[in-house]
Structure 1
Amino acid sequence: MRTGLARAIAGSAIVLLCGATVAMAGPIAFAGLIVPHLARWAAGPDMRWTLAFSAVFGPLLLVPPIWPDACRCSAAICRRA
């Protein structure tokens, strides 16, 4: 069996399933899927460190995209006051 072809098919299936999950449940579900994997990659096999890294990586992944909107909203509120 061609391993390159099998990897390409498996990778495509993973991307499609992850995309479908995000489309149905939103970006928080994406963070729930990807953050533990990133933490395990960064921390290694020790679950204590994986949990600690997950607690840091989750907000780092979710907060920056909403920061500009939060700043615009707070500026608009300050102008009204």
Structure 2
Amino acid sequence: MRLEMRHLVIVLTTADLGTLRQAAPALGMSQIALKAQLRRIEQALGGNLFRHDNNAMELTDLGRTFVCGARNVITRFDALRARVADSAKH
């Protein structure tokens, strides 16, 4: 599986909200679909991003590394999009 921007958003939203119950509706998904998507993302990366503690989703070391990088990618992408939109106006 090739990771896409939407996969970064899924992981970041889950990490930020801390539970599947909160993240799923924020992403417009069922909890079952979100859990399956996270499983596929973790398989693509080769390790667990989250530890499931009761209902909470706690980031693993790998998860913290991924989230840090994903935030950077999204920030840079948003800056690129803004520069391109500004250039298109001129």
Q: How high is the TM-score relative to the length of structure 1?
A: 0.29
Greater relative CO, 1 or 2 (CA 8 Å, sep 6+): 2
Q: How high is the TM-score relative to the length of structure 2?
A: 0.27
Higher Cα Rg, which structure? 1
Where is the strand percentage greater, Structure 1 or Structure 2?
A: 2
